[in-house]
Chains A and B, each alone.
Chain A
Amino acid sequence: MAAIRLHGTPYSTAVARVLTTLYEKELEFEFVEIDMKAGEHKKESFLSINPFGQIPGFEDGDLKLFESRAITKYIAQEYADKGTQFKCGDSKTAAIIGVWMEVEAHQFDPVASKLTWELALKPRYGLATDTAIVEENEAKLAKVLDVYESRLAQSKYLGCGCFTLADLHHLPCIHYLLGTQAKKLFDSRPHVSAWVDAITARPAWSKVLALQKQQG
């Protein structure tokens, strides 16, 4: 049994965030599928890993973790010498990368998640899209991406000149949104568009997409 075990489903954005990191770091791991329909994530055995009853849950030997962004940070630090380095430079750059990781978590994700739900996921479940919510959040996302456009005009990736977790954390939501009308918000901003092309082309991300296809 691998020391690293990831519990969840591959099409969950939060789980995909961790999967991508594990592939980038070229780590061996066991993927434990959680049966969401059967409410497996609310059962005691899973709650002992994530008391909030949400995926992902993560184990590395005896260590148990939840919250995808804490898990990816742990993986990056614990396995610093393996696979993609996720840094370029000194501690000052690390602090700037930290800023843009918080930007993803607090400025981008709340808006992008709502749009992902309305435009990409609700249709899959036969639920009606709320056009008022879409309009409101497309306007918000446009403002966030304007800031990204300025930033990416000065820096090849969000944190610095190299691909880091600050970029990686965006992949799952961006992937969904590129399949919807929200794609235009990324395409219409040249630096954002180039950045999206670069990060979505990474082999580790392709592996996550392959896993998603496999599980249907």
Chain B
Amino acid sequence: MATPVKVYGPAMSTAVSRVLACLLEKNVDFQLVPVNLAKGEHKKPDFRKIQPFGQVPAFEDEGISLFESRAICRYICEKYTDKGNKGLYGTNPVARASIDQWLEAEGQRFNPPSSVLVFQLAFAPRMKIKQDQVVIKQNEEKLSKVLGIYEKRLGETRFLAGDEFSLADLSHLPNTQYLVTTSGRGEMFTSKKNVGRWWNEISSRHSWKNVVDMQNNKGA
């Protein structure tokens, strides 16, 4: 019987790849259902039934329909506690609080400037959209401040929330992948001793390498 777990959206979408990384870490079988963004499939009424904001990913499991990648990741960790990486969302309340804290830091501090840079530096050129140098500079400055704080933190702990890889680190993989490999500004990460070390560790994980393969197979 086919798996009930379905992810809707292309692997090259940062938010979709966040969910894929989590499913792979948890060894949960899933089906990736393509959504043609270029043709505006995500903005059509049928798709808006499962994602009312017209964005990817959307997600289904037996009897439940979800959206927002970080909510989907938390659901996967709670539903499949005993599968794959059991500590991904913490095995006690204090660990979980620390992971939630750094997940919020990712969502509220890291994601805004890094998303803008991913669009401007990695996607705009291939979409033949003109880059906005003012916006790029503003967001490089913002991201640089955030990475300065990460550099200090990652000198104290191996990963962001503590000494184990967690959902908080995983959530950073999609945007950082594009910035380090495609944007030409990778040294923002790699020139920092602790951030560079952390990036090497988290991006070498089997689960993330599989996601990158999925992104490359689809021709991005």
Contacts and interface: CB of A to CB of B under 8 A. Distances in A.
Interface of A: 51-52, 63, 65-71, 73-74, 77-78, 91-92, 94-96, 98-99, 101-103, 105-107, 110, 144, 147, 150-151
B93 interface: yes
Contacts of B68: 98-99, 102-103, 106
Given A69-B104, A95-B66, A51 B149 contact: yes
Nearest to B15: A106
28 contacts: A52-B149, A63-B97, A65-B101, A66-B105, A67-B101, A67-B104, A67-B105, A69-B100, A69-B108, A70-B97, A70-B101, A71-B101, A73-B100, A74-B97, A74-B100, A77-B93, A91-B78, A95-B71, A95-B75, A95-B79, A99-B68, A102-B70, A102-B71, A103-B53, A106-B68, A106-B107, A147-B52, A151-B52
A164 to B, nearest CB: 13
Contact of B103 (A70, A71, A107, A144): A70
Contacts of B98: 65
A63 B98 CA distance: 9
B interface residue count range (under 10 / 10 to 19 / 20 to 34 / 35 or more): 20 to 34
A70 B66 CA distance: 20
B197 interface: no
Interface of A is mostly: helix
B104 A70 contact: yes
Nearest to A109: B108
A99 B103 CA distance: 15
Nearest to B109: A52
Interface string B75-93: 1001100000000000001
Contacts, number: 77
B153 interface: yes
Nearest to B101: A70
A107 B53 contact: yes
Instruction: Pick the most buried of A67, A69, A91, A107: most chain B CB atoms within 10 A of its CB.
Output: A67
Contacts of A98: 68, 71, 74-75
Given A63-B97, A65-B101, 10 more contacts: A51-B152, A69-B100, A69-B104, A70-B101, A94-B78, A95-B66, A99-B68, A101-B71, A103-B53, A110-B112
A101 B107 CA distance: 12
A95 B78 contact: yes
A52 B147 CA distance: 11
Given A91-B79, A102-B70, A63 B94 contact: yes
A66 B101 contact: yes
Contacts of A102: 68, 70-71, 107
Contact of B63 (A51, A92, A94): A92
A91 B149 CA distance: 35
Given A66-B101, A150-B52, A78 B93 contact: yes
B121 to A, nearest CB: 21
Contacts of A67: 100-101, 104-105, 108
A101 B79 CA distance: 18
A138 B8 CA distance: 30
A168 to B, nearest CB: 15
A48 B105 CA distance: 15
A102 B98 CA distance: 18
Interface in B42-82: 52-53, 63-64, 66-68, 70-71, 74-75, 78-79
Nearest to A74: B97
